[in-house]
Amino acid sequence: MCSRGENRLEMMAHRRPPRRRSAGPNENHRLELPWYALPHGSSRALGSTRANQGRLIFLSESHLNKYKAGELCRVFDFDSMFVVESDGRTGGLIMFYHKMNKVVLNYVSANLIDVLFLNDNVVQWRFTGFYGHPNWRDRNLSWEDIHNLHNKGGHPWVVLGDFNEILLSSEKEGGNARPNAMMREFRNC
């Protein structure tokens, strides 16, 4: 839950300059701005108005604990969240949403947050925010998670996130070739 009313100066106390993130061979370069870099009122610029409260935001590799995630929740003008805390170096998942959406946590792990959206206590659809295992040897665990979730229901389902895998070798730029067996497992999940 995100509580409101924190002093903006207190929230900005932990400033650090924006940093350039090095990109891997399959990633685009991007500038990561710390949460405080958003101007006051930016939640309106992001479309968070009463008319658009059906939105949600999913972040993977957030590197945040619950406290920092709560601050970001308030900055983005959401009132609820699910958090899988980072170990401080890697990981971390966050899903921000609005209470009015009647979201129920279905399953959570270090690599995914799975929720159900209800209307009159009837499941309307399902959302899974996903982060695939970063290690090749554990990647099959990611596909097992997806298979298990798929078998849990027949509702409309959206899976969004970073799968840490490619479908075809033509997607790979530079570095060592990806084993076909790994891509096949991903295509078959």
Average pLDDT rounded to a whole number, residues 127-149: 90
The residues spanned by each domain of the chain are 1-101, 102-189
Cβ-proximal residues to 144 (8 Å cutoff; 6+ apart), any chain? none
Pick the more confident residue, 185 or 111. 111
User: CA separation (Å) from 8 to 5, 107, 111, 179, 185?
Assistant: 9, 34, 32, 49, 47
Pick the more confident residue, 6 or 31. 6
The conformation of residue 149, written as its DSSP 8-state character, comes to H
Q: Is 25 helix (H, G, I), strand (E, B) or coil?
A: coil
Asked whether residue 13 carries a pLDDT value surpassing 50, the answer given is no
Could you tell me if 160 and 125 are in contact, meaning their C-beta atoms sit under 8 angstroms apart? no
Q: Model confidence at 55, in pLDDT bands (50, 70, 90)? A: confident
Alpha helices (H) in the chain, listed in sequence order: 8-11, 42-45, 66-75, 139-150, 180-188
Q: How many CB atoms lie within 10 A of CB 170?
A: 7
Instruction: Share the mean pLDDT of the chain.
Output: 76
pLDDT > 70: percent of the chain: 71
pTM: 0.69
State residue 171 phi and psi, 5-degree precision: -80, -15
User: CA separation (Å) from 43 to 55, 76, 171, 185?
Assistant: 12, 5, 35, 39
Least confident interval from 30-34, 55-59, 89-93, 103-107: 30-34
